[in-house]
Structure 1
Amino acid sequence: MPARFAPILFSAFLSAIMVCIVSAFVLAMSQGVDSEFAAQWFRSCISTWPVAFPTVAIVAPWVRRMVSRVTA
């Protein structure tokens, strides 16, 4: 993959990982873990990732600038 796609790939990976972890945690805390957990978790991931991916893609450069200002 060409390096110019790194920001998009970063956003895709980060958002997918965060969606998987956070949706599993929220689902387990709110409804518990039962036989339907995996199916509910998958639906939750599929429905929230389309929101998380563009959010990370838009917000990540801004956050990087904020961090560089604070740490410089």
Structure 2
Amino acid sequence: MSGRLPARFALPVTGFILSGIMTIIISGVSTFMALGFSLMALGAWPIAWISSWIIAFPTVLVVLPIVRRMVSRIVATP
């Protein structure tokens, strides 16, 4: 037993990691641009991040397969 998830979990794991990374960066930029670099902004950032991630993760699960199909029509396979 390798301790790895089966291949069928590739999409949700990809979506989970991708949405988490993207939302932490974007919510950080947005929060600090709106509030400036302050303790208030630092406290607001985790709330903004979790709120964003709750929306982004299921969105990625729906949108990623559509984007992959679109890309496969545009880009030649090696």
TM-score by length of 2: 0.86
Tell me, yes or no, if structure 1 residue 45 matches structure 2 residue 52.
Answer: no
Larger Rg: 2
Tell me, yes or no, if structure 1 residue 15 matches structure 2 residue 10.
Answer: no
Relative contact order, higher structure (CA 8 A, sep 6+): 1
From the two aligned structures, give the one with the greater helix fraction.
1
CA–CA separation in structure 2 for the residues paired with 1:15 and 1:24: 14
> What value does the CA root-mean-square deviation take over the aligned residues?
0.9
Tell me, yes or no, if structure 1 residue 26 matches structure 2 residue 30.
Answer: yes
Q: How far 1:38 moved relative to its partner? A: 2.2
- Unpaired segments of 5 or more residues in structure 2? none
Identity %: 44
TM-score by length of 1: 0.92
